[in-house]
A and B are shown apart, each in its own frame.
Chain A
């Protein structure tokens, strides 16, 4: 039986015990307001950041940039009146024709522009990947310095699925030419909401 064999082999062969190192403590961040560094990094990796005061501003933006016949869905409470709501019990395949998904993020990470989203915010897991365009809304004060702070923030949450999304999908597999828009969303816009 493979399990017993594998474990026996490991027990026979493993080296003398080595303790875990003392936890890594990143240096103190230069500043606490990461809007500038986060935005700069999002831009660097092919996404966009806009600061807004309220939900109305987001609605206006979406109406200006997407046609009325494009399917736009959201899981955000504040935008539910304005756009189609995602039914978490629906078949994920039904989302194949979604043009734009507007989702809330837990927080953003300044060092790499990653935004953390999990099951409750996604509605249906495939949504941020299957949509053609992705908009994520973050509270302005939910930006963190780096991944260590990110995992501190996630803490002991036992979400079924979570994902860091950093920018639009991309590939450079063809002669290292960067192409934005591989299999996931073709674009990413992050709204920083006051």
Chain B
């Protein structure tokens, strides 16, 4: 539990200095939001689907224990070995124990934000296990020794020239190549060798079905399947909130997920895993890591409906102009800002304030999480817990004192106008944060109430 060295505001300040780059980042993500809009508008029943998905997930949260137990029974009948991990450390240890038991030291991994949350790669690497991320975007950030900046588009913050540089350094491509086709082909060949030689593959889980004990993994690249179907051991890591009651509910979620994420009608592959293939071991780890605690927070439990589409990030005007890394947490953007404080309120106290509460996020969310309302409520909780700057507390107390009394308010307003009129240098300086990039308002001759007192309701 500790404050980060640099909070969202400080990190964004750095991010925004390169105006061209911010514009590029912002426009790229806005374009994806626009693609999402196009895709959503193809379905006249879009809003009904959102409502359906939202209600299904609310049902899930209210019966989470029984659905997980039902899933366990069905999955084990299918031959899947189930594990329960109360926290990140337990999850990481379970993965390592599986590898150890089989004497395996090289693993290929497809996209799993849960494993980012648990810092699995670092844990395994410290123990001498090599982990290779097979999703192209994740492989790129892995080689660059950075975390992903977006849950669906891991290296959206990187330009193709930079990616070319990284490939040149690590994969031996000639310097100066930036053609995405050539870079992708390079990655295809490099990772094909990885798939063909790794005996253990770890995947994430997009949805797990209680009724049938199956789980679904969605990719465009086919990397999850290449890893899983060539491995002797397939480990699937899943947050407990990813469970859905019935197979037919996949119809609702698969129609919403990719349209919300990238504007595609569906990912290239939606793979339904139920039984290990002959001779293969299939493991699934159910991970809590703070989710059951969030479940107990009445104002915030609906954040657990999240299906990790990233639409909120694409639409957020703050995320687009500050970048995922400014949130200093595995899951960034609006959804990250309502999930993270549950994990460590002090460390992530800045995140709910990294928003104008514009509400765009709540309205693109396919499962109707009231993100902007939760951001507002987290602010109240964080202030009550004492995790805001004492200067801010003092300023707010003064503001409240002034605004709750007519005479004090009138006096303060007059004083403000006088300063602006007669001593603008007192505010028009580097001490005034507003003044960095904006002029102050012109002070009017008199306030409205003074005008009204003079003129009343007459001309």
Interface mask (B185-214 → A, CB under 8 Å = 1, otherwise 0): 101100110011000000000000000100
Residue numbers in B under 8 Å from A75 (CB-CB) = none
B220 and A152 within 8 A (CB): no
A155 to B68, CA, bound (A): 22
A93 to B232, CA, bound (A): 11
Residue numbers in A under 8 Å from B163 (CB-CB) = 174-175
Report 17 cross-chain contacts, Cβ distance below 8 Å, ordered by A residue.
Answer: A2-B86, A6-B86, A7-B69, A9-B288, A21-B51, A126-B226, A147-B254, A147-B266, A148-B251, A158-B78, A161-B272, A165-B269, A174-B180, A175-B159, A176-B32, A176-B153, A181-B184
Please choose the segment from B55-63, B410-418, B426-434 that sits at the chain A interface, where 4 or more of its residues have CB less than 8 A away. B55-63
B250 and A151 within 8 A (CB): yes
Q: Is the C-beta of A179 less than 8 angstroms from some C-beta in chain B?
A: yes
Q: Is the C-beta of B364 less than 8 angstroms from some C-beta in chain A?
A: no
A129 to B85, CA, bound (A): 31
A184 and B226 within 8 A (CB): yes
User: Would you give the shortest CB distance from B341 to chain A, in whole angstroms?
Assistant: 17
Please choose the segment from A50-58, A79-87, A107-115 that sits at the chain B interface, where 4 or more of its residues have CB less than 8 A away. A107-115
A90 to B183, CA, bound (A): 33
A166 and B268 within 8 A (CB): yes
Given contacts A3-B84, A6-B292, A152-B248, contact A129 B52 (CB under 8 A): no
Interface mask (A96-137 → B, CB under 8 Å = 1, otherwise 0): 100000000000000111100000000011100110000000
Which residues of B are in contact with A by a Cβ distance under 8 Å?
28, 31-32, 44-45, 48-49, 51-52, 55-56, 58-59, 61-65, 68-69, 78, 83-86, 90, 134-137, 140, 153-156, 158-160, 163, 180-181, 183-185, 187-188, 191-192, 195-196, 212, 220-223, 225-226, 229-230, 240, 245, 247-248, 250-252, 254-255, 262, 264-277, 286, 288, 292-293, 295-296, 298, 301
User: Would you give the shortest CB distance from A176 to chain B, in whole angstroms?
Assistant: 6
Number of interface residues of A (CB under 8 A): 70
B160 and A173 within 8 A (CB): no
Residue numbers in A under 8 Å from B196 (CB-CB) = 93, 96
Minimum CB distance partner of B220 in chain A? A170
User: Would you give the shortest CB distance from B302 to chain A, in whole angstroms?
Assistant: 9
Residue numbers in A under 8 Å from B153 (CB-CB) = 172-173, 176
User: Would you give the shortest CB distance from A21 to chain B, in whole angstroms?
Assistant: 4
Minimum CB distance partner of B195 in chain A? A183
Additional A-B contacts beyond A2-B83, A158-B78, A175-B180 (13; CB < 8 A):
A13-B296, A17-B62, A20-B55, A124-B229, A129-B222, A129-B269, A147-B254, A167-B268, A169-B222, A170-B220, A171-B136, A174-B136, A182-B188
A160 to B275, CA, bound (A): 4
A12 to B298, CA, bound (A): 12
User: Would you give the shortest CB distance from A72 to chain B, in whole angstroms?
Assistant: 19
Interface mask (A140-157 → B, CB under 8 Å = 1, otherwise 0): 000000111011101000
A159 and B248 within 8 A (CB): no
User: Would you give the shortest CB distance from B195 to chain A, in whole angstroms?
Assistant: 7
Given contacts A158-B212, A164-B270, A184-B222, contact A13 B293 (CB under 8 A): yes
A10 to B288, CA, bound (A): 10
Between B85, B156, B163, B266, the greatest number of chain A beta carbons within 10 A of the residue's beta carbon is seen for: B266
A183 and B188 within 8 A (CB): yes
User: Would you give the shortest CB distance from A28 to chain B, in whole angstroms?
Assistant: 12
Between A10, A154, A185, the greatest number of chain B beta carbons within 10 A of the residue's beta carbon is seen for: A10
Q: Is the C-beta of A29 less than 8 angstroms from some C-beta in chain B?
A: no
Of B61, B64, B272, which one neighbours A162 at CB under 8 angstroms? B272
A14 to B293, CA, bound (A): 10
A184 and B269 within 8 A (CB): yes
A20 to B293, CA, bound (A): 23
Q: Is the C-beta of A78 less than 8 angstroms from some C-beta in chain B?
A: no
A143 to B182, CA, bound (A): 36
User: Would you give the shortest CB distance from A66 to chain B, in whole angstroms?
Assistant: 20
A164 to B140, CA, bound (A): 27
Residue numbers in A under 8 Å from B252 (CB-CB) = 24, 147-148
Given contacts A96-B196, A168-B268, contact A174 B160 (CB under 8 A): yes
